[in-house]
Structure 1
Amino acid sequence: MSTPILVTGAAGFIGYHVAERLLAQGRQVVGVDCFTPYYDIALKEARFARLTPRNSFVPERVDLSDPAATRDLFQRHRFERVIHLAAQPGVRFVDPVPYASSNLVGFMNMLEACRHAGVRHLVYASSSSVYGANRKLPFSEHDGTEHPISLYAATKKANEMMAHSYASLFGLPSTGLRFFTVYGPWGRPDMAVYKFTHAIAEGREIQVANAGRVWRDFTYVDDIVEGILRLVERDPVADPGWNAERPDPATSAAPHRVYNIGNDSPEEVNDLIALIENALGRKANRVDVPLPPGDVLETRADVTDLRRDVGFSPSTSLRDGIDRFVRWYRGYHGA
């Protein structure tokens, strides 16, 4: 029997979809989550409940910021490959403690556990928010990321540097994935697609930053999952263009790489709202607000490296993705 794959954050949005796809492929999955109340726990429980009846799924409720609990998890299961998606999300600053606990301490515990367990490949979630104040578009993994403008982004940049150091010091193979504005069924209710859909469906107002003149590289969740699963099965290698005089965590001689996963086709938020209105058959009640601190006007992913190395890049159109999301939304909410 093959060794199971560990998926952390399995009750979360992306983690749930990754676990679901792996199970559909006949893989054994150990799914970990600690059900933090960043948003409605009932949605997390509903996702988890869809996974737990599967014979090849082992549910684990573990707080990875607890080093003893993390060590125990790795002692009870043997993992060769780990997909680490558990994190405190969100660029809007509220309370710094959960970010430090989940994204820094929890990530360190994961690195230590993987090191001592001899894990063959750790794939972990980074974020497009690490590009921060960068003005060069599209965002490339080979650009500098020294100016994050949110605490969340700073913790994700720290994750990349921590993983790179473990790859350099201990040879721990790892790959960081910079996700770009992921959406889809079972999505997070604090993100624009879900939040706008829910408000429009209920006839409530939506707050639209910068009069909707904001562009995002909206990426459908199935495309994100495809990229993750293609990468986790391969070993990270040094980029042939790596410059020893100017080492970069994205391209280094250590077994560590960083990839963008985005649609490489930014859409204006006004167009997103129009697609949701069309799918719901209702007009939005809009209220214009300033761009919040920590947000940027535009994101766009350069996916050249991803396409070159795994022969894939996201391609689901926003129209198709929104139609699928709204169908799920209607079913889940009984709308």
Structure 2
Amino acid sequence: MATCVVTGAAGFIGSHLTEALLNRGDRVIGIDEFNDYYDPALKRKNIATAEQNPNFHLIEADIQTLNWIMLLEGVDVVFHQAAQAGVRASWGEGFRLYTERNVNATQILLEAAKQAPSLKRLVFASSSSIYGNAETLPTAETLCPQPVSPYGITKLAGEHLCQLYYQNFNVPVSILRYFTVYGPRQRSDMAFHKFFKAVLEDREISIYGDGQQTRDFTFVSDAIAANLAAASVEAAIGETFNIGGGSRVVLTDVLDTIDQITGKPLRRKHVGNAAGDARHTAADVSKAKQLLGYAPQVSLKEGLAREWEWIQALY
């Protein structure tokens, strides 16, 4: 039985990861501050199942206020999922939250990790946003990052900190760059959640730009499998991996698939381009396949159907 810490344990990916660890018999210390970036009541629902498990201990706190040296005693793995998410909210006055939660909090955790003798792995959740408008598609990890949003810049800073602590203090880090994760419990500010909710409420949805932008969508269970592999495979230490769904899809085609699943056409309204949104994303996952044995299992249509079921139950 391993002892794991999951930061952002009540979040979208964090709650799924927490359950996967508990299901395999691990002890989990979950940390979440339940901030109001989106409705904290949704996070409470996310974590409700885990809270029934005697191997789960929830700490409600800001990462920056905790005694990490004490907390990491006897801990085998840290999954650092907590972050201030969202590209569009990272402009303007909101930026300070991004530097606090994505850069400062990560540095505090790494500083404690270098003094944690039992720690075997620290898995850092990064984002495809670090690539910006990548010149090569699908994009390999070797491509020079060029973020086009303040959010992307803070995630890249977190990656650099992880590498510095690995190189200087042998902190056993592994970095995962997620490409648009979706599925049940997806945050309410994310596109699919908004689209499905609009169907239920018979509302119009806003499409940024011409709708021809493409994304590599990753179902949440595939992202979880990548985390579990990155935490256990020796070759993952010090490495960075793209975690994508294995196919690049045009946004308008996704909307057509949603229409089929719900049986009710989305009412679409085109608006201007959004600042900080990359035009295309596509993950070259060959490194993750080779070193982690990563193989995405869930197709976009199947994954969207599962999210639609969840949305209907939620609302």
Fold shared, TM-score > 0.5 on shorter chain: yes
Unmatched segments (≥5 aa) in structure 2: none
SS state at 1:326 partner: helix
Q: Percent same amino acid at aligned positions?
A: 36
Preserved CA contact (<8 Å) 1:83 1:124: yes
Structure 2 partner of 1:39: 38
Structure 1 partner of 2:78: 82
Q: Using the alignment, how far apart are the partners of 1:191 and 1:218 within structure 2?
A: 12
Structure 2 partner of 1:70: 68
User: Under a length normalisation based on structure 1, what TM-score does the superposition of the two structures give?
Assistant: 0.90
2:181 maps to amino acid: V
Q: Using the alignment, how far apart are the partners of 2:80 and 2:234 within structure 1?
A: 16
Post-superposition offset of 1:73? 2.8
1:320 aligns with 2:293: no
User: Under a length normalisation based on structure 2, what TM-score does the superposition of the two structures give?
Assistant: 0.95
2:177 maps to amino acid: R
Post-superposition offset of 1:78? 2.1
Superposed CA offset, 1:193-227 (max 9, x none):
11111112211110012231111101100000011
SS state at 1:208 partner: strand
1:288 aligns with 2:270: yes
Q: Using the alignment, how far apart are the partners of 1:234 and 1:29 within structure 2?
A: 20
Q: Using the alignment, how far apart are the partners of 2:133 and 2:310 within structure 1?
A: 35
Superposed CA offset, 1:164-219 (max 9, x none):
11111111110110000000001111111111111122111100122311111011
The 5 A counterparts of 1:144-163 are 144-145=144-145, 147-163=146-162
SS state at 1:293 partner: coil
1:127 maps to amino acid: S
Q: Using the alignment, how far apart are the partners of 1:70 and 1:189 within structure 2?
A: 30
SS state at 1:117 partner: coil
Structure 2 partner of 1:104: 103
Preserved CA contact (<8 Å) 2:206 2:270: yes
Q: Using the alignment, how far apart are the partners of 2:70 and 2:120 within structure 1?
A: 19
1:299 maps to amino acid: T
Moved over 4 A (4+): none
Q: Using the alignment, how far apart are the partners of 1:52 and 1:326 within structure 2?
A: 25
Q: Using the alignment, how far apart are the partners of 1:280 and 1:133 within structure 2?
A: 32
Preserved CA contact (<8 Å) 2:69 2:115: no
Structure 2 partner of 1:130: 130
Q: Using the alignment, how far apart are the partners of 2:70 and 2:293 within structure 1?
A: 37
Unmatched segments (≥5 aa) in structure 1: 238-254
Number of aligned pairs? Answer: 311
Preserved CA contact (<8 Å) 2:123 2:173: yes
